[in-house]
A and B are shown apart, each in its own frame.
Chain A
């Protein structure tokens, strides 16, 4: 960062209103400038009508890195709190997401918010049984299709909730980190009944996304979505399925070079026997001697009947066959391993710093990991305080999620969208739909995977769509619903004061040749600067 412009954000000045709504010939937004200004200050605890904390280019770059995209509200909030306090607050968020009421309402109205997943899962099982009874082949096919549609609907609701939280939660770092862990502990929506459970899975991950890694790992191991995805629901005594055991070590904890053997894979698979799901509320008939070991939470189940109670040796530790206790023991061993500290630190550094983070940075983060017993917030604090982090600001290429969310957040920061379908479409086109990566390694975190020729061309097309109109984001999700007028606005004071001075002369030159507001938006969203975070 060369320019350190210390500029004042005067959120209620007339120029703000003019710039935000001054595009001749564009549809008038529904909110008045004054309402918007109040929203700004209202979002800052104890805020005055005028927020006068200055925010520099460097601060803005930090905000960009710690969020799904900078907005005037976020900038005002950070300006008010001061950057250090803001970062600390983001690392230790309070429970309240501070969602705009209409967004909270949208989420509360979803079926996944109103019905426990076990009820949904049980309904699916019942429907399946009914479908089996249908004699007529065509009717059977139609009933199957209907069930599939219902289940797909549940998966789409999970995506909707996730996207709305990403766009509007005040806890931006929590949301960003939740996506990172969802990708780290990847599941794939179309497989089995994962659609029914994925919203729960994300909630479980969010609850520990900035907490202790051990708790996070344990949460994923007790989640129906993961147990289905990596087939542990099939893993039982004498019918061993090694899939999950292998991926836990290779992808979730130790890393491929983490020093485990095929024998360890087999032993962990034995330890994990019985960890599975039960999509019905009835309980299995467990042998009396093992009944105390039975565990149940929603559709999650530990079924002692399926567990291998034999002795095991896992990563050099003798494990006595004891049911749930040995699973906890295995989790402890994995979470405390130096290989895990190193592997997880490196993954976080790739996501938050650079494609190929320095060994020195990764080692410092891993030290913090070990010292704090896997405290993720502490590891990130080490990362954010590092010179490597500072040097990397603005240098990461946005993956499609970052690209779309940052564009929508900046374009409509004051006006919650009514429909996430356009965002789903854009993510599909750019090949990064939520829960859409088939293999357990998750989406790649590095630039090369997203910046190929086809991907760049697609991105510019999407830039044009987002930049030219409301693009369906404000059209209620109902047949025949009319879309209220909407137009994306990027050139507020945040842009003028803090973003514009950082643009390269080539970018500024191209923007100067825009022939309309739509054209300007398209070029801005296509610029190298907007492609990076």
Chain B
């Protein structure tokens, strides 16, 4: 091949890889799982405001009762209230019945170790069996859904939850700017791979990079019109929404910074800031995905809850039951879902934590069944040995 032919062929290739849409038409249902790593203090975010014990157990960090002033908790029903930092983001979605909270959710793993429990949740395997680190539950879900799914992990490393035989792309969106490789270089690079088995990965890689950059360009355009630009997790979540609107329909992202042993604050302070950022992110995602929100479900989980009583450092230690969030434009929200128990000293697990009444594999299995119409056999492949539980959200 001479120089001129090569130029011509790479130019043709460039238009395919940089501008073309090589992927199949997206399926209707979208699912994003958000993992709050570090065990968020669920009891101070979706808080049992109907329990006097809550106020006794947390003399310094409790959020004050609904109706008690500016920084009071926001009532969800007679027993539960929402952290005030979520007033402008999650509460409106709750009013529109687009959010359901599942208290007493989590895993039967009681190691109270972040590592151990994050691993076991992401693997989604039967705790009684030997762990296989090469098989995460979202990877198994993707393989059950076969060709109808375009999975991606919005993380810098491929998380355990997506490990499996199929290659799942991963790309972190919290950095990023204009790709340093320009389109001429991209064409030349693609030409070098044209005859290799890496050719599809190379061209899809450039495509994803372009999508991300396009979404960044939108942000810059909005900013130049005077709109406040999103920061932190909201920025990331809005980028995720654009990618999931256009292309991917099964996503995973994680958010850290929840391990609040010390000085976590109450209505304001450290945890309030973290949760506000998460709320902005999730609401921003719903906003950005636009009309597709009705075909989208977001599930937010964490490895375990924290001690129900505050510790000596105005923080909380590793606990057990958590509160999961399920959001979507077309869910049956606006309520607390799943099995529940009155929050009191005598109902605590080991006299220290929320119990787990809604085991995550059962709950997520139920969500997947409703969302994708999966049968029992398929669900067994995703969560072997678990019995799916329909809590009526989807």
Chain A residues with CB under 8 Å of chain B are 137-138, 140-141, 144, 188, 191, 231, 243, 246, 250, 256, 428-429, 431, 436, 438-441, 448-449, 451-458, 460-461, 464-465, 504-507, 509-510, 512-513, 519, 522-523, 526-528, 531
Q: Is residue B72 contacting chain A, with contact meaning CB distance below 8 A?
A: no
Interface of A is mostly: helix
Nearest Cβ in chain A — how far from B126, in angstroms? Answer: 14
Asked if B115 and A188 sit within 8 Å, CB to CB, the answer is: yes
What is the bound-complex CA distance between A458 and B189, given in angstroms? 13
Asked if B262 and A141 sit within 8 Å, CB to CB, the answer is: yes
Asked if B208 and A457 sit within 8 Å, CB to CB, the answer is: yes
Contacts of A448 in B (CB 8 A): 167
Asked if B157 and A460 sit within 8 Å, CB to CB, the answer is: no
Closest 10 CB pairs of A and B: A457-B205, A454-B171, A453-B205, A453-B204, A431-B157, A456-B205, A441-B133, A137-B263, A510-B188, A464-B180
Q: Is residue B198 contacting chain A, with contact meaning CB distance below 8 A?
A: yes
Max chain B Cβ within 10 angstroms of own Cβ: one of A439, A440, A464: A439
Interface residues of B in 186-234 (CB under 8 A from A): 186, 188-189, 191-196, 198, 201-202, 204-209
Q: Is residue B314 contacting chain A, with contact meaning CB distance below 8 A?
A: yes
Q: Is residue B350 contacting chain A, with contact meaning CB distance below 8 A?
A: no
Asked if B170 and A456 sit within 8 Å, CB to CB, the answer is: no
Give me 13 other A-B pairs in contact (C-beta within 8 A), A439-B133, A452-B168, A456-B198 excluded: A256-B130, A429-B156, A438-B118, A451-B198, A452-B201, A454-B171, A454-B205, A457-B179, A506-B1, A512-B3, A526-B192, A528-B198, A531-B198
Asked if A428 and B156 sit within 8 Å, CB to CB, the answer is: yes
Q: What are some 11 contacts across the A-B interface (CB < 8 A)?
A: A137-B263, A246-B130, A448-B167, A451-B167, A454-B152, A460-B181, A460-B186, A504-B192, A506-B1, A509-B1, A509-B191
Asked if A141 and B263 sit within 8 Å, CB to CB, the answer is: yes
Asked if B263 and A140 sit within 8 Å, CB to CB, the answer is: yes
Asked if B158 and A250 sit within 8 Å, CB to CB, the answer is: no
Asked if A454 and B208 sit within 8 Å, CB to CB, the answer is: yes
Asked if B119 and A438 sit within 8 Å, CB to CB, the answer is: yes
Contact A523 to B188, CB < 8 A, known contacts A451-B201, A452-B169, A528-B193: yes
Asked if B169 and A454 sit within 8 Å, CB to CB, the answer is: yes
What is the bound-complex CA distance between A527 and B202, given in angstroms? 11
Asked if A456 and B156 sit within 8 Å, CB to CB, the answer is: no
What is the bound-complex CA distance between A182 and B38, given in angstroms? 26
Residue ID in chain B nearest A438 by CB atoms: B115
Asked if B3 and A461 sit within 8 Å, CB to CB, the answer is: no
Asked if A439 and B180 sit within 8 Å, CB to CB, the answer is: no
Nearest Cβ in chain A — how far from B345, in angstroms? Answer: 26
Q: Is residue B379 contacting chain A, with contact meaning CB distance below 8 A?
A: no
Contact A506 to B195, CB < 8 A, known contacts A137-B262, A519-B185, A522-B185: yes
Q: Is residue B134 contacting chain A, with contact meaning CB distance below 8 A?
A: yes
Contacts of B133 in A (CB 8 A): 439-441
Asked if A465 and B170 sit within 8 Å, CB to CB, the answer is: no
What is the bound-complex CA distance between A231 and B171, given in angstroms? 32
Q: Is residue B160 contacting chain A, with contact meaning CB distance below 8 A?
A: yes
Nearest Cβ in chain B — how far from A512, in angstroms? Answer: 7
Q: Is residue B12 contacting chain A, with contact meaning CB distance below 8 A?
A: no
Contact A457 to B209, CB < 8 A, known contacts A439-B119, A522-B185: yes
Q: Is residue B7 contacting chain A, with contact meaning CB distance below 8 A?
A: yes
Contacts of A243 in B (CB 8 A): 116
Asked if A140 and B262 sit within 8 Å, CB to CB, the answer is: yes
Asked if B158 and A461 sit within 8 Å, CB to CB, the answer is: no
Q: Is residue B313 contacting chain A, with contact meaning CB distance below 8 A?
A: yes
What is the bound-complex CA distance between A453 and B203, given in angstroms? 7
Nearest Cβ in chain B — how far from A219, in angstroms? Answer: 23
Asked if B189 and A526 sit within 8 Å, CB to CB, the answer is: yes
What is the bound-complex CA distance between A448 and B206, given in angstroms? 18
Contacts of B262 in A (CB 8 A): 137, 140-141, 144
Asked if B194 and A506 sit within 8 Å, CB to CB, the answer is: yes
Residue ID in chain B nearest A191 by CB atoms: B115
Q: Is residue B19 contacting chain A, with contact meaning CB distance below 8 A?
A: no
Nearest Cβ in chain A — how far from B5, in angstroms? Answer: 9
Contact A439 to B160, CB < 8 A, known contacts A137-B263, A452-B167, A453-B204: yes
Contact with A along B1-26 (1 / 0, CB 8 A): 10100110010000000000000000
Max chain B Cβ within 10 angstroms of own Cβ: one of A191, A246, A453, A505: A453
Contacts of B179 in A (CB 8 A): 457, 461
Contact A504 to B195, CB < 8 A, known contacts A137-B314, A188-B115, A454-B170: yes
Asked if B167 and A509 sit within 8 Å, CB to CB, the answer is: no
Asked if A510 and B192 sit within 8 Å, CB to CB, the answer is: yes
What is the bound-complex CA distance between A452 and B205, given in angstroms? 8
What is the bound-complex CA distance between A436 and B158, given in angstroms? 12
Asked if B313 and A137 sit within 8 Å, CB to CB, the answer is: yes
